Amino acid sequence: MRAVLVVNPKGGCGKTTLATNLAGCLANRGDSVVLWDLDRQKSSLEWLALRSPELPVIHSLEGKDEPSGKQKRKHDWLIMDTRAGLHGKNLERAIKPVDKVLMPIQPSLYDMAATRDFLAVLHEEHLLRKGKYFLGIVGMRVDARTRAAVTLEAFLKQFELPVLTYLRDTQVYTNAAFQGKSIFDLPHYLNEKDVADWQPLLIWLAK
């Protein structure tokens, strides 16, 4: 089982959107996926509760207990949706066993300030492993061609962290979520543009 942690200290940055759609993407390609909701609000579990049994199955995990050895052998992926403000020992426990960390960021002053402080903590506590394939940044609700995207890229250069991809601000994600769906569960004519935005992220995950 490969584990992916979706984390950012700030609420409302798109962690659950990223986690649920990543789980939906992997399930649609035939992988066995477990979605672990570590947020008190349990938004990912609410999304799963709406999901039709006719859609590709995504298994759920809640609480603080890690997957058992049997679960790790049975499933291909563990996607972890975390709460805002994760820090200290809880952050250390969450990051150390995972294969990849995804950090969704919106190009706003407040999001970038929170991310700067969070990255400083990761460095100070030696929680960032060496190598460019451990931590990936995803620009949320932004068009890559805008000034906001350029500002975000300039901000991240100081940390030597490139943006893997940008997921645009669209109702496609919102409308799909109301039905317990990811964008990968939608017809091609509805998701074509957005699915293309995910390809760089999926290539990075495979490395």
pLDDT in tens, 83-117: 877 777 778 888 888 999 999 998 888 888 888 88
Contact between 86 and 7 under an 8 Å Cβ cutoff? The reply is yes
Average pLDDT value for residue range 154-173? 88
Q: What share of the chain is helix, strand, coil (3-state, %, to 5)?
A: 45, 15, 40
What global pTM score does this model have? 0.91
Contact between 16 and 39 under an 8 Å Cβ cutoff? The reply is yes
Per-residue pLDDT reduced to its tens digit, 108-150: 888 888 888 888 888 777 777 766 568 899 999 888 888 888 8
Average pLDDT value for residue range 49-68? 87
Give residue 132's pLDDT. Answer: 59
The enclosing domain of 80 has a CATH number of: 3.40.50.300
Give residue 147's pLDDT. Answer: 87
Give residue 12's pLDDT. Answer: 81
Beta strands in 12-162 (DSSP E): 33-37, 59-62, 77-81, 100-105, 135-140
Give residue 64's pLDDT. Answer: 67
Strand arrangement, sheet containing 2-6:
59-62, 33-37, 77-81, 2-6, 100-105, 135-140, 163-167
Question: Which is higher by pLDDT, 16 or 9?
Answer: 16
Q: How confident is the model at residue 198 (pLDDT cuts 50, 70, 90)?
A: very high
> Would you say residue 51 has pLDDT above 70?
yes
The DSSP output letter for 102 is: E
The two counts, helices (H) then strands (E), for the chain are: 8, 7
Report the candidate in 23, 28, 15, 18 with the shortest Cα–Cα distance to residue 186.
28
* Domain interval for residue 77: 2-206
The CA radius of gyration of the chain, in Å to the nearest whole number, is: 16
> Would you say residue 53 has pLDDT above 70?
yes
Question: Which is higher by pLDDT, 18 or 142?
Answer: 18
Average pLDDT value for residue range 152-174? 88
The tally of domains found in the chain comes to: 1
Rounded to an integer, what distance in angstroms lies between the CA atom of residue 134 and that of residue 104? Answer: 14
Give residue 130's pLDDT. Answer: 63
Q: How many CB atoms lie within 10 A of CB 79?
A: 28
Q: How confident is the model at residue 68 (pLDDT cuts 50, 70, 90)?
A: confident
Contact between 197 and 166 under an 8 Å Cβ cutoff? The reply is yes
